[in-house]
Amino acid sequence: MNSEELILVTGATGFLGVQLVRELLERQPNAKLVLLIRDRSGQSGQQRAESIIPSGARARVEVYSGDVSQGNCGLETAAYEHLCAHATRVIHSAATVRFDHSLEEARRINVEGTRHVLDLAARMKHLRSFAYVGTAYVAGERTGLVRECELDVGQNYRNTYEQTKAEAEALVRSRLASLPGVILRPSIIVGDSRTGVTSSFKMMYWPLKIYARRLWRTVPGFPDAILDIVPVDFVARSVAHLLFEEAAFGSTVHLCAGPRGSATIQQIARRAAEYFQVREPRYVDPKFFFAALRPLLFLALWGRKRRVLRDGRAYRDYFTMRMQFDTSNAERLLNRAGVCPPPVLDYLDRLFEYCVASDWGRKPVSAQ
């Protein structure tokens, strides 16, 4: 590692991005970072960055206002040319993770945004590596073992997020012959495995919250459905390591719990039932539930339970998954560096503890 490293990071204000910035600053003490952050109404990219940059590292971080979905990543000409002349590595993690975007909107952000960052990287005079953060769920509705080398095998997708992330990954793959790059596919990212800390209470957390609060215990899914989750600290460490791992270039790497570390819905629900002292859930065939039972319940229920029925539709497919993610490349590239995901059941209680301590993100929790 030398003092000439200038690492461009997109998506730095996201749940993973915040942890990744801190990981890079700690692991690469001589490197400087450039964070590409969108301005928001009444808040500049610089202002948005203030809360994520440790006070002792601010001299090592530059913030550029921009938007990857725009031409030249929305950068001013001087900033674009500076990156072309001086940047050495790129981590592209900016994306929309919403399931309800139209295909056109999701493509604008996820596919065209990736294209613009790839074009910028291709113009960098001193580029040493490019890390693209995708998702394991480019596998869509597949079942069985999903290998890291596979992408399009004719699968269908559950939502525009999965489809456009698959399209974006295909675009990255088409450039790997000319760019020293690696494709990284995390599964569902949850809180820190050591502390349980999270800033995002989506995905697994929403159904967990309504279950823990006794609002709902009927699961339209299968008890043996597989839930592959990984803690944010593992994903951030992996991305920061593989950015500098030449043996990874040209590869696709699943950052997942994998067949040995994942858990079934029933295993997680039993642990949650024990922790929150609630009854174990009832499992209902999802086709029957959504075709016949849900419409009747929607007419009969009011208030919070009706909102649960409405909001829960976005999560229904994730209670029926019967696929596992092969982690051969991950093990080959990460294990020797001491980076490996803890089994899901080993840290679940820490996630639960943080949910309770923070009232599901509604109040701050003092650092231990």
Neighbours of 272 (CB within 10 A): 22
Q: 88-102 burial string, b = 16+ CB within 10 Å, else e?
A: bbbbbbbbbbebebe
Q: Are 88 and 4 in contact, with CB atoms under 8 Å apart?
A: yes
Q: Is the pLDDT of residue 83 over 70?
A: yes
pLDDT of residue 219: 85
pLDDT of residue 264: 95
Task: Compute the distance between CA of residue 218 and CA of residue 281 in angstroms, rounded to an integer.
Answer: 6
Task: Report the number of secondary-structure helices (H) and strands (E) in the chain.
Answer: 15, 15
Which is more confident, 79 or 218?
A: 79
pLDDT of residue 2: 46
Q: Which of 86, 96, 107 is nearest to 171 (CA)?
A: 107
Which span out of 29-43, 120-134, 190-204, 311-325 was modeled with the highest average pLDDT?
A: 120-134
> For the chain, what is the mean pLDDT?
92
pLDDT of residue 309: 61
Q: In the structure encoding, which two tokens stand for residue 266, read together?
A: 């029933």
What average pLDDT does this structure show over 336-341? 95
Q: Which of 2, 18, 322 is nearest to 189 (CA)?
A: 18
Tell how strand 144-146 and strand 129-133 pair up. unpaired
Report the alpha-carbon angle 192-198-199, nearest 5.
Answer: 150
Q: In the structure encoding, which two tokens stand for residue 53, read together?
A: 């940059």
Q: Are 134 and 183 in contact, with CB atoms under 8 Å apart?
A: yes
Number of Cα atoms under 13 Å in the Cβ half of residue 127: 23
Banded model confidence at residue 288, pLDDT cuts 50, 70, 90? low
Which is more confident, 35 or 316?
A: 35
Q: 20-34 burial string, b = 16+ CB within 10 Å, else e?
A: bbbbbbeebeebbbb
Task: Compute the distance between CA of residue 189 and CA of residue 15 in angstroms, rounded to an integer.
Answer: 9
Task: Compute the distance between CA of residue 24 and CA of residue 12 in angstroms, rounded to an integer.
Answer: 11
What average pLDDT does this structure show over 32-41? 94
User: Residues 94-114: pLDDT tens digits?
Assistant: 999 998 899 999 999 999 999
What would the DSSP string read from start to end of 124-162? -TT--EEEEE--GGGGTT--EEEPTT---SS---SSHHH
Q: Are 261 and 342 in contact, with CB atoms under 8 Å apart?
A: yes
Q: Which of 134, 136, 187, 138 is nearest to 162 (CA)?
A: 138
pLDDT of residue 299: 65
Question: What residue spans define the domains of the chain?
Answer: 6-192+228-259+323-344
Q: Is the pLDDT of residue 12 over 90?
A: yes
Q: Which of 133, 164, 107 is nearest to 240 (CA)?
A: 133
Tell how strand 252-255 and strand 181-186 pair up. parallel
Determine the topology of domain 6-192+228-259+323-344 in CATH.
Answer: Rossmann fold (3.40.50)
* Residue 229 β-bridge partners: 188
pLDDT of residue 301: 63
Task: Compute the distance between CA of residue 264 and CA of residue 277 in angstroms, rounded to an integer.
Answer: 19
pLDDT of residue 287: 80
Q: Is the pLDDT of residue 9 over 80?
A: yes
Among all chains, which residue has been given the structure tokens 């456009």? 164
pLDDT of residue 320: 87
The whole-angstrom distance between residue 356's C-alpha and the CA centroid of its chain comes to: 23
Banded model confidence at residue 285, pLDDT cuts 50, 70, 90? confident
User: Residues 309-319: pLDDT tens digits?
Assistant: 676 666 677 78
Report the chain's terminal Cα–Cα distance, integer Å: 32
